[in-house]
């Protein structure tokens, strides 16, 4: 009996609010806004709030798929498990691979931003400019947050509860001060009076809309971390899915509010001209709008990146655990710490690979590291779209049983998937042009982000085929539909 208990994640470790906070923290709202607001304004001008609002639509539709799939299958592997059941092991394995690799690509960059902005917050500007010091501290931060993840989900949740409050409050203070100075006529930049017309995502034209939506999808990515903790959350069939959906709503409100404040205070020319200075744009705006209180915004970005460094490890490590339990990966990745009851081996592996990736890419070129982040769009759009399709397929025998099922379980997730597939195709086209990359260099005749994305896919194929010939147990699974009784009550609490 003791062995059985040790082999399981700790059920009921966190509640609904904790799951909601982790979903929000994983998106890193303050850091994300600092990174994308300039490029979005460069593309669409004053319609940046509308682009962020439009990007919310496919996210909410896919969040619906996560919610309903979780009601019938509370597996910490989320997309991996659901897609395997609906579409078969080959598609499921690739969905799991995509989730794991997104964590590997971004963790190092998040840690670096967390360190740099922490130093800026306390006035150590020279230290923040010392790239080797920042890299060393970033690696130490990754190791620290990984240790917290291993020690326990409750500890992680308590830390995130503090960080998310500090982050959101700081952002709202910044937005409030900036808007006040706009209406008071004391902005130091080319201020513009806000208008509800800014919410029109089509105001800047088709090409600009496409590019803006790609950035918007990245802005919302991460909310599903709440569902990856489903096996460790109370009311596991309901709370994680609801937390994921609510987190997207909180995010869109925050993003639109801050976007209004930033565009109104700074004007479009300044943001467009400095769109490539994503690491310092919020630092400058904070100083301009808040004077000696600029540390509030810098602190917000720092806590945002640090929080996301930790929470981004969660989906990758839980997916690795789920894949190992189904024998889609070596059994060692399924090990659970006997005391802390967390997936310690997969967690440390994710952190280790992420550290190596970060150091190698950053040493080669800082721009190469940014190009690897651009490649995230491919993986994000892929596994989100795969989940939307899997939802409709998994529930296919129940879609016509009610209007709610047809719209929320079938049509909605499929529309979200189609939108993301369209964005995926467009992003591949754009990434093929080397001029659209941070380095501006050609790798094998293509843009570096696309080469990185293709490299990740090829590596995944190699690993998958190798494991297929090593152990075919997982590939004996066959697609299925959800149990009739569960499907009939999808979205309702399970006994």
Residue range 439-472, pLDDT digits in tens: 677 778 888 888 888 899 999 999 999 999 999 9
* Residues 48 and 259 sit within 8 Å (Cβ to Cβ): yes
Q: Residue 462 falls within a domain, yes or no?
A: no
The 10s digit of each residue's pLDDT in 126-146 is 888 888 999 999 999 999 999
Look up the CATH number of the domain holding residue 311. Answer: 1.20.1740.10
What is the distance between the alpha carbons of residues 471 and 475, in angstroms, rounded to a whole number?
9
Split into its structural domains, the chain has a count of: 1
The 10s digit of each residue's pLDDT in 388-444 is 999 999 998 888 888 888 999 999 999 999 999 988 888 788 778 887 666 677 778
Q: Residue 485 falls within a domain, yes or no?
A: no
What's residue 139's pLDDT?
Answer: 94
Position 49 pLDDT exceeds 80: yes
Q: Residue 460 falls within a domain, yes or no?
A: no
From the CB of residue 475, how many other CB atoms can be counted at a distance below 10 Å? Answer: 17
Residue 97, CB-side half-sphere exposure with 13 Å CA sphere: 22
Crossing angle of helices 281-290 and 239-266, rounded to 10° = 70
Q: Which uninterrupted H or E stretch holds 384? A: helix 376-394
Cα–Cα distances (Å) from 360 to 357, 363, 365, in that order, read: 5, 5, 9
Domain that holds residue 248: 8-365
Q: Residue 420 falls within a domain, yes or no?
A: no
Instruction: Compute the average pLDDT of residues 175-185.
Output: 83
What's residue 432's pLDDT?
Answer: 83
* Residues 138 and 356 sit within 8 Å (Cβ to Cβ): no
Q: Given pLDDT bands bounded at 50, 70 and 90, which one contains residue 381?
A: confident
Q: Residue 265 falls within a domain, yes or no?
A: yes
What's residue 1's pLDDT?
Answer: 31
Q: Residue 406 falls within a domain, yes or no?
A: no
């Amino acid at each position: 009996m003791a062995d059985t208990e040790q082999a399981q994640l700790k059920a009921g470790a966190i509640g609904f609010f904790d799951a909601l906070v982790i979903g929000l923290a994983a998106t890193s709202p303050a850091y994300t806004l600092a990174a994308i607001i300039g490029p979005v304004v460069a593309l669409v001008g004053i319609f940046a709030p509308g682009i962020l609002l439009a990007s919310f639509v496919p996210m909410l539709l896919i969040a619906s798929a996560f919610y309903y799939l979780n009601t019938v299958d509370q597996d910490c592997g989320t997309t991996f498990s659901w897609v395997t059941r609906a579409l078969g092991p080959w598609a499921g394995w690739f969905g799991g691979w995509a989730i794991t690799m997104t964590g590997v690509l971004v963790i190092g960059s998040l840690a670096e931003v967390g360190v740099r902005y922490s130093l800026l917050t306390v006035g150590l500007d020279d230290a923040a400019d010392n790239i080797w010091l920042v890299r060393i501290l970033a690696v130490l931060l990754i190791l620290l947050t990984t240790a917290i993840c291993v020690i326990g989900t409750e500890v992680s949740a308590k830390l995130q509860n503090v960080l998310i409050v500090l982050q959101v409050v700081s952002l709202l203070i910044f937005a409030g001060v900036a808007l006040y100075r706009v209406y008071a006529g004391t902005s130091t930049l080319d201020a513009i009076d806000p208008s509800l017309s800014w919410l029109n995502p089509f105001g800047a034209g088709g090409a600009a809309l496409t590019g803006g939506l790609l950035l918007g999808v990245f802005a919302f990515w991460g909310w599903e971390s709440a569902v990856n903790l489903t096996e460790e959350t109370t009311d596991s069939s309901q709370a994680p899915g609801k937390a994921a959906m609510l987190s997207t709503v909180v995010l869109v409100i925050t993003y639109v509010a801050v976007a209004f404040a930033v565009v109104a205070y700074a004007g479009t020319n300044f943001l467009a001209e400095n769109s490539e200075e994503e690491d310092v744009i919020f630092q400058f705006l904070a100083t301009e709008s808040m004077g000696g209180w600029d540390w509030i915004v810098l602190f917000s970005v720092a806590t945002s990146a640090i929080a996301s460094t930790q929470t981004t490890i969660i989906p990758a490590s839980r997916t690795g655990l789920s894949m190992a339990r189904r024998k889609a990966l070596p059994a060692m990745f399924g090990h659970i710490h006997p005391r802390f009851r967390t997936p310690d081996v997969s967690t440390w592996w994710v952190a280790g690979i992420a550290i190596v990736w970060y150091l190698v890419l950053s040493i080669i070129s800082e721009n190469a590291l940014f190009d690897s982040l651009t490649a995230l769009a491919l993986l994000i759009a892929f596994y989100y779209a795969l989940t939307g399709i899997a939802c409709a397929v998994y529930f296919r025998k129940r879609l016509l049983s009610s209007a709610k099922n047809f719209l929320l379980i079938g049509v909605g997730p499929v529309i979200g998937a189609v939108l993301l597939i369209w964005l995926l195709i467009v992003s591949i086209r754009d990434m093929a042009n080397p001029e659209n990359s941070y380095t501006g260099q050609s790798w094998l005749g293509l843009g570096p982000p696309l080469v990185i994305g293709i490299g990740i896919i090829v590596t995944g194929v190699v690993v998958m085929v190798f494991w297929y010939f090593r152990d075919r147990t997982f590939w004996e699974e066959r697609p299925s539909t959800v149990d009739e009784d569960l499907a009939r009550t999808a979205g309702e609490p399970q006994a």
